[in-house]
Structure 1
Amino acid sequence: MLKQDGLPATGRAFVSSGRARRALRNLAFGSVLGLLPGLAGAETMGQTLADAYRNSGLLEQNRAVLEAADEDAAQALASLRPILSWSVSADRSVGDTYVGSVKTTSAATSTSAGLSLSLLLWDGGATRTSLSIAKETVLLTRQQLLQVEQQVLLRAATAYMEVRRAADTLSLRQANVKLLEQELQAARDRFDVGEVTRTDVAQAESALATARSALTSAQGTLEQAKLEYTAAVGHAPGNLSSPDHLGTIPPTSNEAVNIALKTHPSMDVARRQVTVAQLQVAVADAGTKPSLDLTGSYGYSDSAVDDDTHQLSGTVGLSLSGPIYSGGALASAKRSALLNQKATMANLHVVTDDIRQSAASAWSDIQIARAATVSGKEAVRAAEVAFNGVREEANLGSRTTLDVLTQEQDLLDARVTYLSSQVDEVEARYTLLSAMGLLTAQNLKLAVDIYDPAAYYNMVKNAPAEISSRGRQLDKMLRAIGQN
């Protein structure tokens, strides 16, 4: 066998691709958390989550839903207050009177103005209970807003890591294609001098074609990941730095479950749904009881028949009314409320089980991903040793080009798996935070202005009238929102 520079001729193909191989080998143990260069101005996970929080239309939508629930509570309070209304009327009457053939025409104009007042004194507690329902609904809607916030932030965190996964995988694929291009060129050179057969060249061509196909797929995956990132965060991804480990992960599964049962917004939503259902039973029961109302009116009337005639009058009264027979509707409403209460209590058990399972499963996913990362690192190390061994054996003529290409592919697969396991571990971490109810801007201490869910309620909880200074302030604020 011919030799060059002290090496067997069959080894020149592998030596010629040493630069590409070194570039690929430098990625062997490169963690996905630091694979991409930490360029100045690179976007961090915290910045990504903050942008998602600021730019989310879904959060804006649900904040408006919450503020509408705040207004429902204000309206429920207003129903306990006096209702004052006014009325004005003017009447013109014209008539002809006939006495025999004599016609007498008369006309008269009368005017009146008045004020009326009504106040609910007692209705079996139905209205006050409705106010309690409205307040509970406000609190329930706040927790639903937190659920949406967690969805928004988890989507953003996942999009961040998927861009990292796709970008790192693309880097590996690019390095692999470059290496195989050099392998193919070396195989062709050796074929030209008769050192290898056409089969060796074909094997290298096949490996390169497969690698290029995988590279194209990786490029498409990266573009898709970028599109999802843009949708989740509100802008296209730039240079993404190593992901921050925001939040705290409990050391045991039981602790994660206990935290989730205490803090996850879904638990509070389910509990308050039970409370609302119980209050609705009370409202349905009050529907069978009488109601007592206070009414009053004061008015002025004037008749144009006699310019000196006008009248001022006022009335005050109490009215007591109640149902006798409603065709069974009231009894049905009460039974319906009781059944709804039963359903919400069952739902509380379902949500509790779901939260417990989700938290335990998310905690387990972290452990699985960590184990996969450890084994993945070892798999890369072993594949690197195996590849070097096969390459040396090929240099000595005891291995074929196909053996080298196969082992090279195994090494690439190990590296891709290793990188993916690290991405999976980070994603599992944020999934666990979400499962525990802790994936919120406040808990993660994101650099954003945290939305105060009580701010609007405090402005409207006393049901300010439109003519009041607070009412005018609210109208001005809402008009400004509508113009944006």
Structure 2
Amino acid sequence: MFRNTLRRLRRPIAAALLASATALPANAETLADTMVAAYRHSALLEQNRAVLRAADEDAAAALAQLRPIVQWLASYTYQNIEGFDANSASLGLQASMTLYDFGRNAIAIDIAKENVLATRAALVGVEQDVLLGAIEAYLNVRSATEQVELQQNSVRVLGEEQQAATDRFDVGEITQTDVSQADAALAASRADLASAQGDLEVARESYRAATGKFPGKLAAPPPTPKLPASLVSAREIGQRTHPLIQQAKREAAASELQVAAAAAERNPSLTGGAALQAQSNKTVNTGTSVRTDSASVSLDMSQTIYSGGRLPAAHRRAMASRDATRASLLNTARQVDQAVGTAWAGIDVARAQISAIDQQIVSARQAFDGVREEATLGARTTLDVLEAEQILLQAMADKITAVANLQLAHYQLLSAMGLLTVENLKLGIPTYDPSAYYKAVKDAPFTSRQGESLDRVLRSIGKN
């Protein structure tokens, strides 16, 4: 009976363990679907888009400093002087404008523009992080699903082997020890299945956090992205295009301008003003009323001669901040260079692992088939069969992990080079235009006509 059972189990173990992993519905979710869902769902992207709009408004506010300020003023005063009641009222209109400030406002506008560009680059960096997180979640779900299927088939195969051992024990061919070994192997496989199912649930939750929904059936990943010709080329691309480097460059430029702005604070400024005022004074007891109309124009020029060390301290602080941003740029460039090298090495390692594991699987399958055949002849024990099966199972599980690592390493390399964006991946969906809001507010619109384009932008992003 035992030999008949073994003959039934003699089919290739790989086919048995992976039988359920081959059938996927035609409408399975692709990796592109996952990235699109993450791009549309991400609250982190929404947060950083709002940060960018705030930076756009800072540029508009800086521009507004070059324009006049117009105010109206109204006042009313009641007095009782030695029994006489009197009141006065006034209404005025005044305007003031900085006529010349030796470049301070112009520098402030340039600083605001550099900050806008830095924030745009930071938004691209967030986009890369969101897409890479979605890719990792997708690959984790696929790997966890395959591990569960592998363990489920392992439980089934070991269950059949445990039954075969029991049947063989019943006819006196083996001892209770062999049966116990088969029982232990089956229990261990069930524990591994429970662990794999737990890992799958964790992966599903991560996928839901990234995309806003639980995964359905996931299609096989597409062919891996094309690599640059060499690691040197990949590093050069990263230095040119990575958003963190672009952000650091803009921040360094803004810090240079901050030094110039701090130095310009010591210069004089010239402002002009104009005012119109109408005032009425009335004595209640006598009924006397006097109205006075006035108009004035003024020019004022001022310069700080002594500030107690505040202005020199601000200048030194700006220079220290400039040095810090320069060092940050250098450090960022080095980190990007390291990330490219690490991802490139990850690809090489995963490829080598897959090649070695493929050979291991072939050898382990041959060893397993041989041990089973020898067991039918009584030359091998149940433990030998179980150990051979476990070696093959572990090799196949390692293959699943290595394949996922290879896929992920390719996209990590794209991210390290600054190319993991919706546009570069050609996902075929409308993307957020980081310049649309800036164009609408860069001239600091204040009338309904000038605000029409701003209204359209706000409606397009669902904020109005």
TM-score (norm 2): 0.94
Corresponding residue of 2:341: 360
Q: From the superposition, tell whether residues 131 and 202 of structure 1 become closer, same or farther in structure 2 (CA, over 3 Å).
A: same
Corresponding residue of 1:138: 116
Corresponding residue of 2:63: 77
Corresponding residue of 1:67: 53
CA–CA distance in 2 between the matches of 1:148 and 1:271? 17
Which one is further off, 309-318 or 180-189?
Answer: 309-318
1:258 aligns with 2:236: yes
Q: Deviations over 1:133-154 (max 9, x none)?
A: 1110000000000111111000
CA–CA distance in 2 between the matches of 1:417 and 1:353? 33
User: Which of the numbers 268, 272, 292 marks the counterpart of 1:311?
Assistant: 292
Which one is further off, 239-248 or 313-322?
Answer: 239-248
Q: From the superposition, tell whether residues 195 and 483 of structure 1 become closer, same or farther in structure 2 (CA, over 3 Å).
A: same
**SS in structure 1 of the partner of residue 154 of structure 2:** helix
* Aligned 8 A contact 1:296 1:315 in 2: yes
Letter in 2 for 1:122: Y
1:52 aligns with 2:38: yes
Q: From the superposition, tell whether residues 122 and 308 of structure 1 become closer, same or farther in structure 2 (CA, over 3 Å).
A: same
Corresponding residue of 1:17: 9
CA–CA distance in 1 between the matches of 2:14 and 2:311? 82
CA–CA distance in 1 between the matches of 2:282 and 2:126? 66
Q: Deviations over 1:149-177 (max 9, x none)?
A: 11100000000000000000111100010
1:310: Cα distance to partner?
Answer: 2.4
1:341 aligns with 2:322: yes
Corresponding residue of 2:360: 379
User: Which of the numbers 400, 404, 422 marks the counterpart of 2:385?
Assistant: 404
* Aligned 8 A contact 1:160 1:229 in 2: yes
Q: Deviations over 1:349-408 (max 9, x none)?
A: 111111111112111211211121122111111111111111111122211111111001
Corresponding residue of 1:6: none
Letter in 2 for 1:56: S
**SS in structure 1 of the partner of residue 85 of structure 2:** strand
CA–CA distance in 1 between the matches of 2:427 and 2:462? 28
CA–CA distance in 2 between the matches of 1:59 and 1:250? 29
Letter in 2 for 1:222: L
User: Which of the numbers 130, 147, 151 marks the counterpart of 1:169?
Assistant: 147
Aligned length: 461
CA–CA distance in 1 between the matches of 2:9 and 2:215? 34
Corresponding residue of 1:285: 263
1:111: Cα distance to partner?
Answer: 2.1
Corresponding residue of 1:275: 253
1:21: Cα distance to partner?
Answer: 3.9
CA–CA distance in 1 between the matches of 2:91 and 2:308? 40
Corresponding residue of 1:300: 278
* Aligned 8 A contact 2:2 2:165 in 1: no
1:468 aligns with 2:448: yes
1:41 aligns with 2:21: no
CA–CA distance in 2 between the matches of 1:319 and 1:245? 70
* Aligned 8 A contact 2:17 2:153 in 1: no
Q: From the superposition, tell whether residues 354 and 480 of structure 1 become closer, same or farther in structure 2 (CA, over 3 Å).
A: closer
User: Which of the numbers 407, 410, 432 marks the counterpart of 1:429?
Assistant: 410
1:131: Cα distance to partner?
Answer: 1.0
Corresponding residue of 2:203: 225
Corresponding residue of 1:351: 332
* Aligned 8 A contact 2:411 2:420 in 1: yes
CA–CA distance in 1 between the matches of 2:225 and 2:354? 21
CA–CA distance in 2 between the matches of 1:26 and 1:146? 40
Q: From the superposition, tell whether residues 127 and 154 of structure 1 become closer, same or farther in structure 2 (CA, over 3 Å).
A: same
Corresponding residue of 1:182: 160
Q: Deviations over 1:223-280 (max 9, x none)?
A: 0000000001111000100112475321311111111101000111111111011000
State the Cα RMSD in Å.
Answer: 2.2
What does 1:323-334 correspond to in 2, within 5 Å?
Answer: 323-334=304-315
Which one is further off, 296-305 or 306-315?
Answer: 306-315
Letter in 1 for 2:116: V
Letter in 2 for 1:376: I
> Taking every aligned residue pair, what percent have the same amino acid on both sides?
44
Letter in 1 for 2:416: A
1:12: Cα distance to partner?
Answer: 3.3
CA–CA distance in 1 between the matches of 2:339 and 2:457? 41
1:321 aligns with 2:302: yes
Corresponding residue of 1:4: none
Letter in 1 for 2:200: L
